[in-house]
Amino acid sequence: MCWTAKSFIRGLSYSVKYCSKDNHLQKIHLYSKLKPKKCHILDWSGSTCNSTVPPGSILPWRFFSCKQEGTEIPCKIKKIASITTPELLYKDLLKSEQKNWNEISGRYKAMAKRIKKKIEELHKKYTFSSESPRIKVGESVYFEENGCIFLSKADDVDEGNVRILFSAEDLGFDDAFIQRIRISPDQRYMATSLKSENSEEATCVVMKLGDFPVVEKVIPNVFSFEWVSNDVLYYTSQKNLKCQDVFMTTFTKQKHTELVYTEQDARFFVDIYCTKDRRFLTINSNSKTTSEVWLVDCRHPFKSPVLVQARTKGVIYHIEHRNDELYILTTYGEPAEYKLMKAPNAGHLYLNVISFVSHSVQSIKLPAWACAFELESHPEHTTSTCYFQLTSPVHPPKRFAYSFKENNLIEQAVQEVPIITNCHTTRLLAKSKDETLVPITVFHNTNSKELHRKPLLVHVYGAYGMDLNMSFKEEKLLLIEEGWILAYCHVRGGGELGHSWHKDGCQHNKLKGLDDLKACIILLHELGFSQPKYTALAAASAGGVLAGALCNSNPELIRAMVLQAPFIDVLNTMMKTHLPLTIEEQEEWGNPLADEKCMKYIKSYCPYHNIKPQCYPSVFITAYENDQRIPLTGVLRYVQKLRKAALDHAGRTKKKGNWIPNIILDIQANGSHCDSSWEDSLNEVARQLAFLKKELEDV
């Protein structure tokens, strides 16, 4: 059965994409939902011809009506002898429509003339002359008129005391208009985009200002651009109506341009924008229904962008910044309309002081590097000051005081402990398997270059509702000084985000913690923090469950693993009720003796029970001979089984240079699960670091 012209037209779908007037992007696409198929085209003589129709092609159907002396009769259609190429079909259709319009347009001329005159009268009546937008930077004002950019002092604009900085016509852009102007903070450079009416792409021209402005750089195919600092410009590149790459170009003595962000999903369009306080550059990646924003700190333009919140399907959000707080316009939550929310910069530690008198809450922002808080003593109810210490894994304890009366923070200089200034702290959010956002705290040396080649040590715990230990350790600072990256993954099962965070990662939810850990490591690698062959995983005690589980499920993500007194034989341990903690810890792990489903679930993630022949990372385990919490027998069985599985895999593959991991167990006669002497602890740490350096730095 042949398609008719009407059925073909009904099969067409129209899509309109509209962008704001400011960026001059207005486009309409016409496309066909009809799939290519063999069809029979029936001409008016009744004969048929066969043709394969390419998708989106416009067939030369002619089914118009012409009025003739008050009656409607079908237009005469010429017989279609054959179909050649889509281009010829398009030209034939275009000529036919032009001819048809020429024949009927005369009847509309008089009416169109009258309407045009009325519109012109209304335009004169209601349209007021308006000046072009003016950009004020300090005491200077920049503005555009008739394809030229002018500079004037703020007080002299109306006096006509202006000078010309730029002329589109003089630079050979005769048919272009000025689309956007951006001035560098110190007013040494000006970037402007030029766009013709017949093109979607714009050209960015960077001028070095001064007594005699000169062209410094011309960048083709630019969509948006912003000055991040005095001599660093970020811009997006547009190709085939798509904008997915963000570049940084510098105008220092050593000029260079590099790619800083790429959007891999073709559904997303990327543009950039500086917050109104110029504190951050926002990299905005938006689809029609979902968005994601990355921030570049304008004070540190060469640092990697930081993710605000990973994209969640159906959630759109936009970012502004003011007074160290992010203002978020988002569709998140119910009702599904835009809402304005406010949030402190991600990951910052706050001191909340609650008054029992006024019932008010005072929130004091603590230093950005702070990760742990410890109250020195319990203040008396009559005191006006409380004292506490702040620390991080790489920052020694620093003493502070809070004044209740003055509501301010006082740094105590008694100890004169230097604050580490060459370490950068980054907070990230990784999207887990079930879309849950998992916090990560990352430390690295500010002077480090090529972070993707640096060793990365990932820490995890995720049990008992306890926070991951973020107190100061000398060995962590040592690693930072030697160029290592430290990452702390605050997975479910821990207590970082409250009671529900623990509940969502214990008993029948333990695998969620494993999903969280996997998502964190993948995100770190995706963002350029090291790569699998330079990555190690560290855990202690119950943290060994998730570390060991990841070692079984995704060994390709890490090169080495360091475990201290690890809990790695969960099922066998929880089956032995005579052990001192088994009954007590059933609320954390479940009771496999009373519940068969629980037994199967524990067995599905238990590190010992899931060892199999495969390519494992190297493993260094420190265990204690008299550990009452973690039976040494379980650790011994684990090491033997793991070593055998690694060797079995190496023997089966028999490839030249096949990787055989080092499986090392360091059993300490002294020390205990919770505490060791300073000397013993120092020796243990030294051996662990020696192992890590050998495994990661000698790759």
- Please list, in sequence order, all residues whose beta carbon lies within 8 angstroms of the beta carbon of residue 172, skipping any fewer than 6 positions away: none
**Rounded distance between C-alpha atoms, residue 630 and residue 23, angstroms:** 64
**Rounded distance between C-alpha atoms, residue 578 and residue 566, angstroms:** 20
Q: Match 């519940």 to its residue by tokens.
A: 595
Q: Among 231, 516, 569, 627, which one carries the catalytic annotation?
A: 627
Length of the chain: 699
Q: CA-based Rg of the chain, rounded to a whole angstrom?
A: 34
**Rounded distance between C-alpha atoms, residue 699 and residue 691, angstroms:** 13
Start-to-end CA distance of the chain, whole Å, equals: 68
In order, the DSSP letters of 229-283 are ETTEEEEEEEETTEEEEEEEEE-SSS--EEEEEE---TT-EEEEEE-TTSSEEEE
45 has catalytic annotation: no
Structure tokens at 203: 């050209």
Q: Among 541, 569, 618, 649, which one carries the catalytic annotation?
A: 541
Q: What angle do CA 413, 416, 420 make, to 5 degrees?
A: 110
318 has catalytic annotation: no
In order, the DSSP letters of 554-569 are -GGG-SEEEEES----
Structure tokens at 64: 């118009």
**Rounded distance between C-alpha atoms, residue 4 and residue 43, angstroms:** 11
Q: Among 318, 348, 525, 673, which one carries the catalytic annotation?
A: 673
Peptide bond into 74 cis (omega under 30): no
673 has catalytic annotation: yes
Residues β-bridged to residue 234:
226, 248
**Rounded distance between C-alpha atoms, residue 285 and residue 242, angstroms:** 12
Structure tokens at 209: 């200002």
Structure tokens at 258: 């590099």
3-state secondary structure (DSSP) of residue 686: helix
CA distances from 47 to 8, 41, 51, 79, 609 (A): 20, 8, 14, 9, 74
The residues annotated with a catalytic role in the active site are: 541, 627, 673
